[in-house]
Amino acid sequence: MENQVETICSFCGTGCGLVVEVENDKVSKVKGHKENPSSHGETCVKGALGWEYINSDRRLTEPLIRKNGKLTPASWDEALTLIAEKFSTLKDKHGPDAFGCFSSSRSTNELNFLAGKFMRTVIGTNNIDSCNRT
Partner 1 sequence: MTVFGTGAATGSYDELENTDVILVWGSNTQECHPIIFNHMRRGIKNGAKMVVIDPRRIDQTKLAYKYLPVRVGTDIALANAMGHVIIEENLVHQEFIQNATEQFELYKKAVQSYTPEYAEKITGIPAEDIREIARLYATAYKATICWTLGITEHHNGTENVFSLINLALLTGHIGKYGSGLNPLRGQNNVQGGGDMGALPNRLVGGWNVDDPEGRKLHEQVWGVSVPEKIGKHQTLMLDAMEQKEIKALYVIGENPVQSDADGNHVQRLFESLEFLVVQDILMTKTAMLADVVLPATGWAENDGTLVNSERRIQRVRPAIKGPGISRHDHEIIQDIANKMGANWKYQSAEDIWEEIRLLAPNFAGVTYKRIDEEGGLQWPCPDESHKGTPFLHGRLWSKDVGMKAKFVPTDYQPPAEVPDQEYPLMLTTGRRLQFYNTGVQTSNYKKVKNAEEGLEIHPDDAAQHGLNDGDPVRVSSRRGSVVTKIRISNKQPRGLVFMTFHFPDQVSTNVLTNHATDPLAGTAEFKACAVKIGKHEEEYPLTEAQ
Window 45 to 84, contacts with partner 1 (CB under 8 A):
45-47, 49-54, 56, 58-66, 71, 76, 79-84
* Angle (nearest 5°) at CA 24 between 19 and 25: 65
| Euclidean distance between CA atoms 12 and 133, whole angstroms | 14
Q: Is 6 in the site for partner 1 (CB under 8 A)?
A: yes
Minimal distance, residue 34 CB to partner 1, in Å: 11
Minimal distance, residue 3 CB to partner 1, in Å: 9
**Near partner 1 in 86-115, by CB under 8 A:** 86-88, 90, 94, 96-115
Cβ-proximal residues to 15 (8 Å cutoff; 6+ apart), any chain: 8, 9, 38, 39
State which amino acid sits at residue 30: V
Query: Which bin fits 42, alpha (ψ -120 to 50), beta or left (φ > 0)?
Result: beta
Count the site residues for partner 1 by CB under 8 A: 98
Minimal distance, residue 123 CB to partner 1, in Å: 8
